[in-house]
Structure 1
Amino acid sequence: MYQKYLLCCPLAARVLYSWIYEETLGDLWCLYILILYLLRAGLHQLWNTYVNMLFFTRNRKIKQQGYDFKQIDQEWDWDNFLILHVLISAMACLIFPSLGDLPFWNSKGLITLLLLHVTISEPLYYWGHRLFHDTYLFTHYHSLHHSSPVLHPFTGGHATFLEQLLLSIVTGIPIAGSILMGYGSASMIFGYLLVFDFLRCLGHSNVEVVPHEIFSKLPFLRYLIYTPTYHSLHHTEMGTNFCLFMPLFDAIGKTLNSKSWQLHQKISSDSAKKGRVPDFVFLAHVVDISSAMHVPFVFRSFASQPFSTRIYLVPIWPITFMFMLIMWAWSKTFLLTFYNLRGRLHQTWVVPRFGFQYFLPFATDGINKHIEEAILRADRMGIKVISLAALNKNEALNGGGTLFVNKHPELKVRVVHGNTLTAAVILHEIDNDVKEVFLTGATSKLGRAIALYLCQKRIRVLMLTLSTERFQKIQREAPADCQNYLVQVTKYQAAQNCKTWIVGKWITPREQSWAPPGTHFHQFVVPPILNFRRDCTYGDLAAMRLPEDVQGLGSCEYTMGRGVVHACHAGGVVHQLEGWTHHEVGAIDVDRIDLVWEAALKHGLRPVSSVK
C-alpha cells in the first residue's frame, strides 16, 4: 500500500547525500521536486480537512450524503498522480539539467503562463474531456472517475493512468512553453501547480464556498471561474459542464448546463439557513489525544479503519494537543459524522472533553454543563433521540443522564443511555450451558442489571463487591426464589474455578491470573482490559453491526470495525427507530432487556462479538 512512496526515495537520498557528505545542497532540483510534492499533498489534505469539518460545512453541502467506505477505498490511492508528476519532473531535470538553474522570479513568465493556460490548456482539456465521454473511452477509462457517488477533493486524483498522463500534458504545456520562451522561474512552477490543484479541489469539494453575490455584481466572472456547484452538475448530468476551470468554453461549445447559475444561487443562499434536522444524535467524547486524530477531517483513510496507534501520526501529536486547547477554550459541541438509515439522518456530536478529564472532581460541573447544552440544543432543533456515550453518562457524573431529565422535565428530545442494549448484548454472548459467572463492577448500573437477569435464569452470580449494603440492595430486587443465586465475594480468589468472567471494572494482569485456564472474559469496561492470558479468551466491548442499508457511513467508531457501533450507540438507534417516547436514564429496567434485544434484531442490527 505504501511501497509507492519508495519511488521518491532516490530524490531524498540524493538530497541527504549532498547535505551530509558534500556539505552543500547539490542538485537543488531534487529538493524542489520533493518540496513541491509535499506542498501539493498538503493542499489536498487541507481541503479534505475543510470538507469533512461538518460543523462548518453541513449547510453548504451540494449533495447531502456522506462518504462511505466503498468510495474511500476506491480513492485510497488518489495521490498516484502526484508521484507520477514527481517522476516526470525528475526525468525532465535529468534530461535538461539547466532546469535546476531557473531564477526564483520572472514576472513575464507569469503572464506567459496565464496566456498559455487560457489559450491552450483550457480548450485542450475541454475537447479532451468531451472525447473521454465517448462510449468506448468512457467505459474503459473515464467511468472510474465518475464512480465516486459524492465529490471529494481526492476524487480529482481518482482516475486511470491514461487520464493522468493527459492531465500531465495539460498542466505541463504552460510551464514548458514559458520555460522555452525564456521566461521560466521556480515561483512560476510552484505557483501554477498549487493554484491548479487548489481549483481542482475546489470543483470536487461538494461544498459551495463561492458567494453568489459575486456573480450578481460581476456577471462576466461566471465564465472565467467555475464553482463546486457547476462541476457537480457534470457528475449528475454528464453531457454538460466539461470545462477545466473556465465555463467560457462550455458556453462556446454549447455544453453549458442551463441550471448552473440558478442552482449555485440556491445552494449559496441556503447556506445561511438551518439544514436538515437529524432524527438521532450520538453524543460522543474524545478518549485521548491519539484518538482525537481518528476523525475524518484529520486523515480520512485513518478514520475509515478501526483505531490503533500509528507511528506516522506521532509528528502531528503536538498540533493535536494545540487543537485540544482550542477546543477547550471554544467549548462547543462539534458535529463529526453522519449517516442515513432507513431515510432518517443520524449524527455523531462530540463533547470537547478528553477521557482523563472525566475523572477530575473539579471538572464535573463543567462537563455536565456541556452535555446539558448539547441536550438543550438537540431539543431546540427538534431532534427526537440523543444517546450518551460511555463517560457522558457516568453514574458518578450525572446518574446515567437522570440529572438532565430531572432538571428539564419539559424536554421533547428523548435522552437515552443505551445501556439496556449493552446489557442484552453481553448477556446473549454467554453460553446456554453456563451455570456460574464471576462479575466485577457488580454494583454498577450494568453490573446490577446483568446480575438480576442471570439470577432469574438460575445462573449463580459471584458478585465482587466490598459493600455488603449495595449487594443486599440488589439482592432484594431479585425474586425471592432467585436471591440465593446472587453471592457476594470480596476477593478474586473466589473465582479461581469459574471460567466465565464478566468484567465491568478494569482488572490488572495479576488479578486476571486467578482465572482458571480456558476462561473467557466478557467485558463492558472502558478502556478494555489487556489480553494478558494466552490460555484464556477475551470478548470485544459490547457492540452491534448496523444494517446493511446504512448509507454515508465512512468512519469507524473508535476501535470498532467498519459498520459497527458501540451497543449504547445502537441502543439509541433502536430507541429512535421504534419511536419509543420514554427517557432511558438511570437504572436499567431488567424486564426490558429482551424487548430491546428483539427490537434491535428486528431492525437489522446484529451482534459482532468474537465470543464462542
Structure 2
Amino acid sequence: MGAPLSAWPWENFGIFKYLLYGPFVAKVVHGMYYEQDYSDQSFIWSLHLLILCGLRGFLHVLWNSYSNMLFVTRNRRIFEQGVDFKQIDQEWDWDNFLILQAIIASMAYFIFPFLQNFPVWNVKGVIVALLLHVAISEPLYYWVHRKFHGHYLFTNYHSVHHSAPVPQSLTAGNATVLEHLILTLVIGIPIVGASLMGYGSASLIYGYVLVFDFLRCLGHCNVEVVPHQLFQTFPFMRYVLYTPTYHSLHHIHKDCNFCLFMPLFDAVGNTLNRKSWELHKSNSSGNGSRVPDFVFLAHIVDVTSSMHAQFCLRSFASLPFRTRFFLVPFWPIALISLLAMWLWSKTFLFSFYYLRGRLHQTWVVPRFGFQYFLPFAADGINKQIEQAILRADKIGVKVISLAALNKNESLNGGGKLFVDKHPNLRVRVVHGNTLTAAVILDEIPKDVEEVFLTGATSKLGRAIALYLCRKKVKVLMLTLSTDRFQRIQKEAPPEYQSYLVQVTKYQAAQHCKTWIVGKWITPREQNWAPRGTHFHQFVVPPILSFRRDCTYGDLAAMRLPQDVQGLGSCEYTMERGVVHACHAGGVVHSLEGWTHHEVGAIDVDRIDVVWEAALKHGLRPVSSGSTV
C-alpha cells in the first residue's frame, strides 16, 4: 500500500474519470435550458470552471505541441533525447490535477460567500494578487519544494514528477495528490486573498490561473524560449523570471533551483546553480542542433494520418494509427496546417530516436498518397525528394532512406534518378527494399515447393522470384508481359530458369497454398486460392482479409533493438518499436557503415548479407501470420 495521498482516487477509471465533470455539465445544461435568466451564481460558477479547465488543458497541449515541433525547436532543445513510450505512459493522466482543482474550486464557492458575485475586471485585484504571489506563494512553494526533496517525501511523492527523463509541459501536471493539493493552495492564496479584500474579479481568476499554468509549462517545455539578450540588457530579470534551462538543472541535479518562477528565492536560499546563466545563453543561442546520422524520408498518406505526429497529440502518436472519431473535428485544422507547412518548408521533422549513439530522424515530404499516382505531379514530388536529399548531403547526413512511394519505380527508379543526377553525393541514398525482400522470404516456409507471385515484375517481385528459383522453388509469376518475364528469367542461372513459370490467370494458382501478393487483389480474385492459403504481401495498401479459411500476413516490418532510446511514436499502423522493413534497411545500412548507394534494382546476392547484418544488430522480424 502506498503512502497517503500518493495515488489518485480515480486512477483506475480510465477515460471514465471525465464523468467527474458531470455535475458541472449538468448544472450548466440545466441552467441554459430550464432557467429564464442566468442570475444563478452557481450556474455561472460551474460554467466558468468548465471553460477554465478546458483552457488550461488546451494550454498544456499547445505547449506540448510546440515542444515537439522539431522543425522549429530542434536548435534550442535542452535535452536532446526524445520522449519515449515509458514516459508517455507514466504521464498519460497528467490532467488529473484539473479535475482535483475543479472539485476544490466548487467547494470554495460554498465556503467563501465573497466568491459568489464578481465583477468582470478590477485593476486593484491584479496588483494585490501579484503582491501576495511574491510575498506568500513564491516563498511557500520554495520552502515546501525543498521539503519534498527530503528522503521520505521524495521517495513516496516527488519522485513521480522527477521520473520523466525529458521534461515537457505535460510533465508539469504529472504529480501526486498531495503535491497538487499544496500547489492548489499556492495558486489559491493570491486569488482568495485579493477577493477577501474586495478586489476579486473574473478576469483575475482567469488571468492568474492561466498565467500560472503558462509559466509552469514554460519551465518544463524543454525548449529555451527566453532570449539571453533580455538578461544582458536587464540583469535583474535573471532573478524575476526563470527559464526552461534554469528549471532543467533542477531535474538534473535535484539539489538546486527550487523556485516556483522567481530565481530570487534560490539566490536568497543559496540553492541557485551558478551554471544557470551560462548554460541558458548557450541554449538560447540556437547552437544545440545535432546532425543526424540517418534520415528516413517518409510521406503522408492522408490528412487524418498527418495528425499521427508527436507535435499534434503525443498520446495518439504513441499508439498504432487508426482513424478515431475524435479526430474528425480537427480535420480542417490539420489540412490548413499541412498546406502551410508545404508552403513554408519542403520537408519537416516528424520524430527521432537514438540507436547505438547515432541519431535517427524521420523527415516527411508533405504530399498525400494519392498525389503519387497523378502523372502531372511526378516532377514536383521528385523535386521535393531531391531537395531533401541535397539538404541531407549539405548538413552531413550519412544515409537517407526513401519510404514507400518516395522510391516508386515509375517515379524515380527506386532513387536511381537522384544518384545519376548527382554522382558526387556524400550521403548514401537507400531504398531499403533489399531487407524488405529478405523479411518476406524469411516468412516463407523452408519446405515450400511452389509459390504464386503477383506483382511479379516489380522491383521486389523480381528479387523474390530470382531468389526462390535458386532455392529450387517453383514460382508462378502472374504477368501479362512476356517480355518482362523473359528478361527476369534470363537473369536466373540457366539451371534454375525452369523454376520460373509465367501465368496469366489466377486460376493457375488454385492448388498453390503460398501466395505472395505484390499487386492488390480483389476478394473475388482471392477466391481462387485453396483453403489454408497464407497470403504474404508487399502491396500498399494491404489487401482485404476476406477469406476466413486463410491467413494473411502484414506488410514487411522489423522490431528495433531493445537499446533504442527516445522512441515515442509508432510508425503509421505499426506496433510500438516496429518499423517498416525499408526503414529498417536504411538503419542497417547506416549501422554497417556501407558506402554504396542502394537504388534501382535489388541485388539478389545481397539479400542474405543484409538479412544477417540486420540480425547481428539486434533487429528482429515481426511475425505476421495471424489467422483471420
Counterpart check, 1:343 vs 2:357: yes
**Deviation (angstroms), 1:63:** 1.3
CA offset digits 1:261-300 (Å, max 9, x no partner): 111112222x0x4721111100000011111000000000
Matched, 1:46 2:62: yes
**How far apart, in 2, do the equivalents of 1:335 and 1:470 lie?**
39
Letter in 2 for 1:469: D
Q: Distance in 2 between matches of 1:238 and 1:407?
A: 54
Deviation by residue 1:578-605 (Cα, 9 ceiling, x = unmatched):
1111100000000100010000000110
1:459 and 1:201 map into 2 onto residues whose CA distance is 61
Q: 1:143 aligns with which of 134, 137, 159?
A: 159
User: Which residue is 1:279 aligned to?
Assistant: 293
Instruction: Give the superposition deviation at 1:14.
Output: 2.1
Distance 2:240 2:550 in 1: 67
Deviation at 1:105, TM superposition (A): 0.8
- Contact 2:74-2:288 within 8 A present in 1 as well: no
Residue 535 of structure 1: CA displacement? 1.5
Deviation at 1:177, TM superposition (A): 0.9
In the superposition, the TM-score normalised over structure 2's length comes to 0.95
Q: Which moved more, 1:36-45 or 1:528-537?
A: 528-537
What residue is the counterpart of 2:378 in the other structure?
A: 364
Of 10, 20, 28, the residue aligned with 1:7 is 20
1:547 is matched with: 561
For 2:27 and 2:455, locate their aligned partners in 1 and report how far apart those are by CA, in whole Å.
59
Q: Deviations over 1:537-568 (max 9, x none)?
A: 11111011111111111111001111111000
Trace 1:517-536 onto structure 2 (pairs within 5 A).
Answer: 517-536=531-550
2:400–2:429 CA contact under 8 A, matched in 1: yes
Instruction: Tell me which of 97, 115, 118 is aligned to 2:134.
Output: 118
Pick aligned residue for 1:17 from 8, 17, 30: 30
Q: Which amino acid aligns with 2:398?
A: K
Greater shift in the superposed pair: 410-419 or 480-489: 480-489
Question: Secondary structure, in 3 states, of the residue corresponding to 1:349?
Answer: strand
Q: 2:256 aligns with which of 222, 240, 245?
A: 240
1:402-551 alignment, distance < 5 Å: 402-551=416-565
| Cα distance between partner residues in 2 of 1:343 and 1:603 | 13
Give the C-alpha shift of residue 23 in structure 1.
Answer: 5.2
1:362-420: CA deviation from partner (whole Å, max 9, x where unpaired): 11000000000000011111111000000000001000000000000010100000000
| 1:331–1:370 Cα contact (<8 Å) kept | no
Instruction: State the shift of 1:113 in Å.
Output: 0.7
Partner of 2:7: none
- Secondary structure of residue in 1 paired with 2:214: helix
Query: C-alpha distance in 1, partners of 2:340/2:482?
Result: 46
Task: Work out whether residues 319 and 575 of structure 2, in 8 Å CA contact, stay in contact via their aligned partners in 1.
Answer: yes
Name the CA distance, whole Å, in 2 between partners of 1:183 and 1:418.
67
Q: Please tell me the root mean square deviation across aligned C-alpha atoms, in Å.
A: 1.2
Say if 1:424 and 1:30 are closer, same or farther in 2 by CA, change over 3 A.
Answer: same
Secondary structure, counterpart of 2:366 in structure 1? strand
Give the Cα–Cα distance (whole angstroms) in 2 for the partners of residues 13 and 98 of structure 1: 24
1:599 corresponds in structure 2 to 613
In the TM superposition, what is the alpha-carbon distance from 1:341 to its structure 2 partner? Answer: 0.6
1:400 matched to 2:414: yes
Alpha-carbon shift at residue 96 of structure 1 (Å): 4.7
**Which of 306, 310, 323 is the equivalent residue of 2:337?**
323
- C-alpha distance after superposition, 1:11-39 (max 9, x if no partner): 11222232233355551211111110110
Segments of 4+ in structure 1 off by > 6 A? none
Instruction: Name the SS for the 1:2 alignment partner.
Output: helix
Partner of 1:228: 244
Query: Offset at 1:611?
Result: 2.4
Cα separation, partners in 2 of 1:368 and 1:166, compared to 1, 3 Å: same
Any conservation in 2 of the 1:60–1:208 contact (CA below 8 Å)?
A: yes
- Measured in 2, the distance between the counterparts of 1:316 and 1:529 equals 29
Question: In structure 2, do the counterparts of structure 1 residues 95 and 577 end up closer, same or farther at CA, with 3 Å as the change threshold?
Answer: same
Deviation at 1:517, TM superposition (A): 1.8
**Equivalent residues of 1:542, 1:609 under 8 A apart:** no
Give the match for residue 3 of structure 2.
none
Pair 1:36 & 2:52 matched: yes
How far the C-alpha of 1:94 sits from its partner, in A, is: 4.2
1:90 aligns with one of 92, 97, 106: 106
2: distance between equivalents of 1:16 and 1:492?
61
> In structure 2, which of residues 320, 329, 343 is the aligned counterpart of residue 306 of structure 1?
320
Instruction: Give the CA deviation at 1:498.
Output: 1.4
- 1:104 lines up with 2:120 in the alignment: yes
Post-superposition shift, 1:324?
A: 2.2
CA distance in 1, matches of 2:455, 2:334: 33
The secondary structure found in structure 1 opposite 2:92 is: coil
Residues 1:374 and 2:388 aligned together:
yes
Matched, 1:208 2:240: no
Q: Is the Cα–Cα contact under 8 Å of residues 144 and 160 in structure 1 kept in the other structure?
A: yes
What is the CA deviation profile of residues 112-150 of structure 1, one whole-angstrom value per residue up to 9, with x for unaligned ones?
A: 110111111000000000000111111111111111111
Identity, in percent, stands at 74
AA of the residue aligned to 1:286: I
For the residues of structure 1 that align with 2:619 and 2:232, how far apart are their CA atoms?
Answer: 50
* Counterpart residue number, 1:383: 397
Alignment match of 1:175 (pick from 179, 182, 191): 191
Judge conservation of contact 1:28–1:100 (CA < 8 Å) in 2.
no
Provide the rounded CA distance (Å) in 1 between the counterparts of 2:298 and 2:273. 42
The answer (yes or no) to whether the contact 2:114–2:196 under 8 Å persists in 1 is no
Whether contact under 8 Å (2:122, 2:199) holds in the other structure is yes
Output the TM-score relative to the length of structure 1: 0.98
Residues 1:132 and 2:148 aligned together: yes
TM superposition shift of 1:327:
2.6
| Contact 1:462–1:486 under 8 Å retained in 2 | yes
Query: How do residues 564-583 of structure 1 correspond to structure 2 at under 5 angstroms?
Result: 564-583=578-597
For 1:104 and 1:460, locate their aligned partners in 2 and report how far apart those are by CA, in whole Å. Answer: 82
Tell me, which stretches of 5 or more residues in structure 1 are unaligned?
A: none
Verify the 8 A CA contact 1:543 1:608 in the aligned structure 2.
yes
Equivalence for 1:163: 179
Note the alpha carbon deviations across 1:148-178, whole angstroms, 9 max, x for none: 1111111111111111111111111111111
How many angstroms apart in 2 are the aligned matches of 1:36 and 1:318?
A: 25
Alpha-carbon separation, structure 2, partners of 1:137 and 1:407 = 64
Asked if residue 70 in structure 1 is aligned to residue 86 in structure 2, the reply is yes
**Partner of 2:11 in structure 1?**
none
After TM superposition, the structure 1 stretch with the greater mean CA deviation from structure 2, 81-90 or 276-285, is: 81-90
Distance in structure 2 (CA, Å) of the matches to 1:478 and 1:487:
12
CA-CA distance at 1:99 after TM superposition: 2.9
Question: For residues 22 and 182 of structure 1, what CA distance do their matches in structure 2 show?
Answer: 29
Q: Distance in 2 between matches of 1:443 and 1:493?
A: 19
Cα shift readout 1:212-249 (whole Å, capped 9, x = no counterpart) = 01101100000001000100111111111000000011
Once the two structures are superposed, residues 285-342 of structure 1 have per-residue CA deviations (whole angstroms, 9 ceiling, x without a partner) of: 0011111000000000000111111111111011111112213322421011111111
**Matches of 2:28 and 2:548, distance apart in 1:** 48
Q: Give, in angstroms, the shift of residue 459 of structure 1.
A: 1.0
Contact 2:77 2:288 survives alignment (8 Å): no
Measured in 2, the distance between the counterparts of 1:440 and 1:22 equals 68
Matched AA of 2:35? E
- After the TM superposition, which of the residue ranges 565-574 and 83-92 deviates more from structure 2? 83-92
Cα separation, partners in 2 of 1:242 and 1:338, compared to 1, 3 Å: same
Matched, 1:257 2:270: no
For the structure 1 residues 317 and 23, does the alpha-carbon distance in structure 2 shift closer, same or farther, using more than 3 Å as the test?
farther
